[in-house]
Structure 1
Amino acid sequence: MGRNTRKRRTPLATKAMAASAALALGGGGLIWANFYASAHETNSAQNSTKASWGQVATISCPDVGQQLSNVPGQARTEVDGELGNLDSQITDAYQRLATTRSAQAQDANYVQNSILQPLKDRRTVIIGRIRLEITRVGGQTPRNLDAMASCTGIPANQPNTGQQNNGGGQQQNGGGQQNNGAGQQNGGQNAGQQQNNGGQAGNGPAAADFVDITKVQRNVAAKVRAGRGGSTGTFLTQCGVNANKNHNTDNVIVAPGVTNGAHHLHDYVGNQKINAFASNDTFLQGGTSCRNRNDLSSYYWPVVRVQDGTQDFDQNADGGGKEGNVGRILTPVQAQIKYVGNPRSKVVAMPQFLRIITGDAKTTTNGLANANAHWSCTGFENSVQLTDKYPICPQGSNVVRTFAFQSCWDGQNIDSANHRTHVAFADAGGNCQNGFKAIPQLTMRLVYKINPPTLQNGQVKNAYAVDGFPEQLHKPATDHDDFISVTTGGLANKIANCVNTGRQCQ
């Protein structure tokens, strides 16, 4: 598996459905592997996903990055790199679990002695470096940081997250939008060997991750009505669907300077020069896919793939097939990007280079507290939104992913150490709390034409799934979206003015 590479020094490298922040940082993961399957097993039905979890075990690693909410600016570059290294360690451990089944079956202590303990040792070194980087510039680290080196092996029937029945998820409308409140594995060598994990590469999705949307009860709450002082306008920006296939597996927000820092593939629209090494100056020179040439913002999200036995260009690449992200990449048939107002107040313009990540790429590890995934089908969006299930849509209906970003800003920072605390969701009444200011709320709606998967005998055939960290099992709740605000020609003020004056602009 490819390692992270950097230009600078690189060591080894509130409520279940109420999301309040952003993508989880490095250092946490949930690793799944079949402890008992034989190394020579094959799967005669590569496009079928197993739902039987009886032979699957997990390793839960604490998410170090979520605990680092106050990293001094002088240390953030190195700390981000070290968090990326923790992610790579988990990915490597996941690969080892996936490729040592015979040894695991023959030795009950193999996982502890050969995977968990070495992983703890490596994490201890990196966590020590993180502590050193922070304290050398006068910062402080959480007292329990060292204890986060240990990862725990648990059986799959004891999940870390409380998955919800019926794929539900109550939607709290704090901004007038539906939002949450506030190749094969090893380049083709191990396909099918992890069959009890489900999925074409053995790491999901499973049949239990899907639900017939026609059988889900209505769960979308009424929108908050705008008050007299609210901002009711909308601003639509048209940036395409990534038809030019601008992809990479970096994440410049979470892992700047780290190649393959996301461990999964992103679609990019808007700014065309986004990768791990891009800077604010790069953004201004990046060009744009948006019709409005002053919109140089970057909008990017994990790709969706259909696991029907086919592969795509990255089947033997890092972030692709090597890390369990397999299948045919789907281009959205529609991608709507819209800014909306706040029902209780006027908005201020977004600051230049503001970063926002919505959702949590590691809910399989972290639980659903920061999940902000919304899955539905055309014709059902106003009645059913799912967070922990992929919808099986009826014939003639398309799959829809929607995102409603945090719409309250602290008024000072364009980013924060954990990429969460500088922005927040409005409360259930649409109000920004703790002195935060309302900003135009970015909403995105992605539509995909997907032949409905079928569930048969505990298996799902022709599954689709969002790309993700390999140990996250392609769960629907791991969906997330990323945004960097970059505008010229006074566009940020124009968006705010449009929203504040109740107009519909583009």
Structure 2
Amino acid sequence: MVNEHRLLTLLICLVLGGGLAAAVLGASRAAGPRAGAASAHPGPDDRADVREVPRGPAGAAAAGPDASAGSVSVDCGRNEEGHYNEDNLVVSPGLRSGAHHTHGYVGNLSTDAMSDDASLDAAATSCRGGDRSTYYWPVLRRVDRPSARPHESSAGHGNTGEILPEASVSVEFRGSPVGKVVAMPRFLRGMTGDAVAYTAGSDADVRARWGCSGLPDRSTTGYPRCPEGDRITRTLVFPSCWNGLDTASAGHRSHLRFPAANGVCPQGTFPVPELRVSLGYEVPPGVPLALDSFPEQRHSPKTDHAMFVNVMTEAQMSRLVDCLNQGRTCRA
């Protein structure tokens, strides 16, 4: 009798165990590719033919009578110096290779994980007007070619392939459609986009827009398929409403926030110059692309992001603010 009870117990355990395993497997399959291991390449859902994307609004609120309607362009080159690393001074200061993927830079030529305000202030810059600010973003690769240079293979974590050089880099500041802007504080840290958007379950912080140079009124959050001869573009707009207190914050989002669709800043914040970084790439049609990302983010284009640290002098920032508030077009 004892043996019969043991056999019956074992049989029940096997049945329950098999059911549990089936349930877990079914849940994993239902969760789709986001639950799986990192993919070497983006999937077909990550691509979009921009010619099939509806024309959209310009994205900026209409300027009111008190708008600061100027613009300031900062010529910082195209990273001809080859400034790359796997650090992220804004998100992971003091942590070498904390990004787990490669960033490309313009502006301050010293920027790495160990930079601080003093070292940034003392460094050389690629910006012609002397702006020592640092502007950086994850690199874009063509995965049909192998990693050949040291900075292409050092990131690891599934980020492989030849890094595409930027054919154009635009660093531009704009004003507010509803009022005058105030100066950014020196050493203000800023971030736009969501590096974990693929697994976040929400697109709330997805900010980057991809497009084609010949179709500026169309954009997508996917890798764009462009007409032959067009450059692939990435446009990254930063938050422009400052809390007036902090140059950084936990999570990197509460001290510098985005305005509402009508251009009005959240309560308790003030409009500061809006930074826009626009990148262009010359890529033959059909070349497979992959944005550097964390392994579990599967190189999703929605994870595109960028960071900056304002190292302009007070005099440089004052000139920039005056230009914006006076509605002029300037170069810094």
TM-score scaled by structure 1?
Answer: 0.58
Report matched runs for 1:240-251 at 5 Å.
Answer: 240-251=77-88
Aligned partners of 1:212, 1:409: CA distance in 2, in Å?
Answer: 36
Counterpart position of 2:91: 254
Report matched runs for 1:173-184 at 5 Å.
Answer: none
- The offset of 1:317, in angstroms, is 4.3
Of 402, 407, 410, 2:243 maps to 410
Report matched runs for 1:149-164 at 5 Å.
Answer: 154-155=28-29, 157-158=31-32
1:395 correspondence with 2:220: no
Aligned partners of 1:357, 1:258: CA distance in 2, in Å?
Answer: 18
Q: 1:159 to 1:220 in 2, by over 3 A?
A: farther
Counterpart position of 1:385: 219
Report matched runs for 1:480-495 at 5 Å.
Answer: 480-488=305-313, 490-495=315-320
- The offset of 1:433, in angstroms, is 1.6
1:464 correspondence with 2:289: yes
| Percent of aligned positions that are identical | 38
Aligned partners of 2:242, 2:144: CA distance in 1, in Å?
Answer: 42
Q: 1:157 to 1:452 in 2, by over 3 A?
A: farther
Q: Unpaired segments of 5 or more residues in structure 2?
A: 1-19
Aligned partners of 2:53, 2:65: CA distance in 1, in Å?
Answer: 36
1:337 correspondence with 2:171: yes
Of 44, 56, 76, 1:239 maps to 76
TM-score scaled by structure 2?
Answer: 0.87
TM-superposition CA deviations, 1:58-93 (whole Å, max 9, x none): xxxxxxxxxxxxxxxxxxxxxxxxxxxxxxxxxxxx
- The offset of 1:242, in angstroms, is 0.4
TM-superposition CA deviations, 1:421-444 (whole Å, max 9, x none): 001111111111212100000011
1:217 correspondence with 2:54: yes
Of 106, 111, 118, 1:269 maps to 106
Contact 2:84 2:151 in 1 (8 A): no
Counterpart position of 1:278: 115
- The offset of 1:419, in angstroms, is 0.4
TM-superposition CA deviations, 1:354-382 (whole Å, max 9, x none): 00010000001113111111000012122
Aligned partners of 1:240, 1:263: CA distance in 2, in Å?
Answer: 25
Contact 2:152 2:163 in 1 (8 A): no
- The offset of 1:314, in angstroms, is 3.9
Aligned partners of 1:160, 1:485: CA distance in 2, in Å?
Answer: 36
Contact 2:186 2:314 in 1 (8 A): no
Aligned length: 307
TM-superposition CA deviations, 1:269-289 (whole Å, max 9, x none): 100111111111011011100
Q: Unpaired segments of 5 or more residues in structure 1?
A: 1-107, 113-152, 162-193, 454-461
Contact 2:48 2:220 in 1 (8 A): no
Q: Secondary structure at the match of 1:364?
A: helix
Q: Secondary structure at the match of 2:208?
A: coil
- Structure ID, larger Rg: 2
- The offset of 1:253, in angstroms, is 1.1
Counterpart position of 1:207: 44
- The offset of 1:208, in angstroms, is 2.2
Contact 2:196 2:297 in 1 (8 A): yes
Contact 1:307 1:463 in 2 (8 A): yes
Report matched runs for 1:278-357 at 5 Å.
Answer: 278-293=115-130, 295-314=131-150, 317-319=153-155, 322-357=156-191
Q: 1:374 to 1:156 in 2, by over 3 A?
A: farther
Q: For 1:353, give the aligned amino acid.
A: F
